[in-house]
Amino acid sequence: QVQLVESGGGSVQAGGSLRLSCAASGYTYGSYCMGWFRQAPGKEREGVAAMTSASGSTYYADSAKGRFTISQDTTKKMVYLQMNTLEPEDTATYYCAATSRFATRCTLDNSVDFPYWGQGTQVTVSS
């Protein structure tokens, strides 16, 4: 089955950077869309960034625009999230997620579009 494994989380000071990685396996044909979501304690899960696998079109939450960049290496089945100028409000568990290859949209509005999820990686930003 599809497996997603995140890595790259950690603790940084405000203004710092982190690069999250997501390794995908178990795919034969890949997914239509890959995304990054996050959930802070006591808050709902929210979409951060997404990318369509074929075209490379990207989508960002307002909180991520200008600071975060999603990218992929399809040959390695890897998805990345480069996070710059981190703020304490970015502290959360970050999850990699994937749609099926039959999905027809790539949005951050509805996490149920993503049936496959990683276990999460913690990002802590101190002030």
pLDDT of residue 125: 98
Q: Which residues pair with 7 in a beta bridge?
A: 21
Q: What would the mean pLDDT of 56-71 be, rounded to a whole number?
A: 97
Residue 27 scores a pLDDT above 80? no
Token reading at 7: 């890595």
Residue 108 scores a pLDDT above 90? yes
Higher pLDDT, 93 or 109: 93
Q: 42: how many CB neighbours lie within 10 A of its CB?
A: 5
Number of H helices and E strands in the chain, helices first, is: 0, 11
Looking at every residue in the chain, the average pLDDT score rounds to 94
Q: Which residues pair with 11 in a beta bridge?
A: 124
pLDDT of residue 28: 66
